[in-house]
C-alpha cells in the first residue's frame, strides 16, 4: 500500500540514504531536510517502508518550486515518483516550477506526464558535470493531471504547514 505523508525528523537518515543512491537528485544536507516554514517534504511509504520523497519550496501561496525528487532505486517504475509530484500539484493553486538536467530523461518524462512544460533554461546551472538546466513549469488556472489512483493520504500544503521542511539551495 502506498501512503504519502509529511516528513518527520526521524525520516531524515532514510531520506539521506535515498539521496545517496540518487545522485541525479542533487546534493542536499540533513539541515535541508529539517522542518522550516515555506519548505515541504512529502514522504512516500510503500508497504510501510520509506521509499521516496519530494522536497519543495513554497515561498508564497501562488508559487512553488520542486527542489528535488528521489525514489529508492529498488522501488522505481512503480508510480511513486508520479504520485509524489501529482499529489503535491494538487495541494497548489498557482505555478509550480522546477529545474532538471537535459540529460535526465527519466525525470523529464515523469514531469511531462504530470503536466509540466519547458519554459526556459538556466545556462551552466549544474556542476559535475557542467550542464544547463531546463526550467519546467506547471500551473496557472487550467487542467491538472488527475490525482493518482488509488488516492494516497494527502500531505499538507506548503502554505499551511508549520512543520514543513528546510531551507537550502542545492547545487548539483
Ligand atoms: C526520476 C524518478 C524520481 C522517477 O521515480 P519513479 O518512481 O521510478 O517514477 P514513476 O514510476 O512514477 O514513473 C512515472 C513515469 O515517468 C517516466 N519514467 C520514470 N522513470 C523512467 C526511466 N528510467 N526511463 C524512462 N522513463 C521513465 C515514465 O514515463 C513513467 O511512466 P511508466 O512507468 O508508466 O512508463 C527516479 O528515477 C529517481 O529517483 N531518479 C533519480 C533522482 C532524479 O533524477 N530526480 C529528479 C531530479 S529533477
Ligand 1: residues within 6 Å at CB?
22, 24-25, 68-71, 76-82, 100, 104, 106-107, 109-110, 113
Pocket test for ligand 1, best of 22, 23, 82 (most atoms within 8 A of CB): 82
Give a yes or no: residue 112 inside a domain: yes
41 Cα–ligand 1 center, Å: 18
Report yes or no on 170 lying in a domain: no
Q: How many residues does the chain have?
A: 172
Kindly compute the dihedral angle of the four CA atoms of residues 34, 170, 73, 98, in this order, to the nearest 10 degrees.
100
Could you tell me the pLDDT band of residue 164, with boundaries at 50, 70 and 90?
very low
The residue that leads in pLDDT, 155 or 35, is 35
User: 88 to each of 26, 69, 120, how far by Cα in Å?
Assistant: 20, 11, 22
Which structural domain, as residue segments, surrounds residue 95? Answer: 2-153
Q: What is the pLDDT of residues 5-57, one digit of tens each?
A: 999 999 999 999 999 999 999 999 999 998 789 999 999 999 999 999 999 99
Distance 49 CA to ligand 1 centre (A): 19
Indicate which residue's Cα is closest to atom 18 of ligand 1: 106
- Nearest CA, atom 36, ligand 1: 71
Cell of 74: 529498488
**Counting Cβ atoms within 10 Å, is residue 3 exposed (0-12), middle (13-18) or buried (19+)?**
middle
pLDDT of 139 reads 87
pTM: 0.88
Tell me whether residue 143 is in a domain.
yes
In this prediction, residue 163 carries a pLDDT of 30
Find out whether 4 and 153 touch, Cβ atoms under 8 Å: yes
22 CA → ligand 1 middle, Å: 12
CB under 8 Å to 68, separation ≥6 — which residues?
A: 19, 25, 26, 28, 54, 55, 170
Position 140 scores a pLDDT of 61
Which residue among 42, 85, 110, 118 is best mutated to probe the pocket of ligand 1, counting the most ligand atoms within 8 A of its Cβ?
110
Q: What is the CATH number of the domain that holds 146?
A: 3.40.630.30
Please compute the mean of the pLDDT values over residues 166-170 and round it to a whole number: 33
For residue 160, being part of any structural domain is answered with no
Measured CA distances, 77 to 16, 123, 132 (Å): 20, 30, 26
Split into its structural domains, the chain has a count of 1
Looking at the domain assignment, is residue 146 inside a domain? yes
State residue 169's pLDDT score. Answer: 33
Mean predicted confidence (pLDDT) in 114-127:
96
Cα–Cα dist 65/39, whole Å: 9
Q: What is the pLDDT of residue 152?
A: 52
Segment 78-105, tens digit of pLDDT: 999 999 999 999 999 899 999 999 999 9
Is position 164 within any domain?
no
144 occurs within a structural domain = yes
Q: Is 47 left (phi over 0), alpha (psi -120 to 50) or beta?
A: left
Report if residue 147 sits inside a domain.
Answer: yes
Amino acid at each position: 500500500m502506498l501512503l504519502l505523508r509529511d516528513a518527520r525528523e526521524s525520516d531524515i537518515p532514510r531520506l539521506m540514504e535515498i539521496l545517496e543512491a540518487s545522485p541525479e537528485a542533487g546534493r542536499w544536507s540533513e539541515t535541508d531536510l529539517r522542518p522550516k516554514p515555506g519548505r515541504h517534504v512529502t514522504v512516500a511509504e510503500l508497504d510501510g517502508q520509506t521509499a521516496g520523497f519530494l522536497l519543495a519550496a513554497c515561498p508564497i501561496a501562488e508559487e512553488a518550486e520542486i527542489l528535488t525528487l528521489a525514489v529508492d532505486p529498488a522501488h522505481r517504475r512503480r508510480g511513486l515518483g508520479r504520485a509524489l509530484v501529482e499529489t503535491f500539484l494538487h495541494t497548489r493553486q498557482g505555478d509550480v516550477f522546477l529545474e532538471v538536467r537535459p540529460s535526465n530523461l527519466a525525470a523529464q518524462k515523469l514531469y511531462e506526464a504530470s503536466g509540466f512544460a519547458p519554459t526556459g533554461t538556466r545556462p551552466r546551472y549544474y556542476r559535475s558535470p557542467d550542464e544547463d538546466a531546463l526550467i519546467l513549469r506547471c500551473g496557472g488556472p487550467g487542467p491538472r493531471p488527475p490525482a493518482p489512483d488509488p488516492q494516497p493520504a494527502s500531505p499538507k500544503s506548503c502554505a499551511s504547514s508549520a512543520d514543513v521542511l528546510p531551507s537550502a539551495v542545492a547545487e548539483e
